[in-house]
Amino acid sequence: MAFHGQHEHSLDSKDRLTIPARFRSALADGVILVKGLDPCVEVYPVQEFARFEQREVADFSSFSRDQRRMRRRIYAHSVDEQLDSAGRIRLPGQLVEHAGLEGPCVIVGAGNTLEIWSPNSWSTEDAEVDAHAHEIAEGLGHGGREASRDG
């Protein structure tokens, strides 16, 4: 399932967040919550996190300081969670703090993951991407053409 759209929900007093109903079945086996590189919490279905590990982390070298550091950052700031009977997940304090979450949150579909943002941070990010979408698309397109010429 690809996750789409923007959904507003609120973090409760126990740092639980309701997942939109349409996504709950895709997350029924559990989720991995990860400290995003951006000021957000990334929500991976368990199977998708396993694919992420294989694709992005498995080949990190123990001899590379940056790769060891990134591996530590990913695993030290990730948590296994289950949806409760009301379709909520509990966010650990360190992730709540990282994303600046309190009260209202924006749950953003990001294809194979969900992202949880504070409304202000999301508004800023969304506006910045919108303002530069044309240049970003051109750069991505150019990179794709370059790669195909080399192959």
**pLDDT tens digits, residue range 40-94?**
999 999 999 999 999 999 899 999 999 999 999 999 999 999 999 999 999 999 9
Instruction: Report residue 144's pLDDT band, with 50, 70 and 90 as the boundaries.
Output: low
The pLDDT assigned to 46 comes to 96
pLDDT tens-digit series, residues 124-136: 999 999 999 999 9
Please give the pLDDT value at position 8.
97
Amino acid at position 121, single letter: S
Whether the predicted pLDDT of 147 surpasses 50: no
What pTM, to 2 d.p., does this model score? 0.89
Could you please state the CATH topology (level 3) that the domain comprising 6-118 is classified under: Chemotaxis protein chec (3.40.1550)
Q: Identify the weakest region by mean pLDDT among 28-37, 56-65, 72-81, 141-150.
A: 141-150
Every domain of the chain and the residues it spans: 6-118
- b/e for 109-145, b at 16 or more Cβ within 10 A? beeebbbbbbeebbeebeeeeeeeeeeeeeeeeeeee
> Would you state the torsion angle of the CA atoms of residues 77, 44, 103, 92, taken in this order, to the nearest 10 degrees?
-30
> Sorting pLDDT into bands at 50, 70 and 90, what band is 1?
confident
pLDDT band of 151, cuts 50, 70, 90: very low
pLDDT of residue 16: 97
Binned at pLDDT 50, 70 and 90, residue 143 comes out as: low
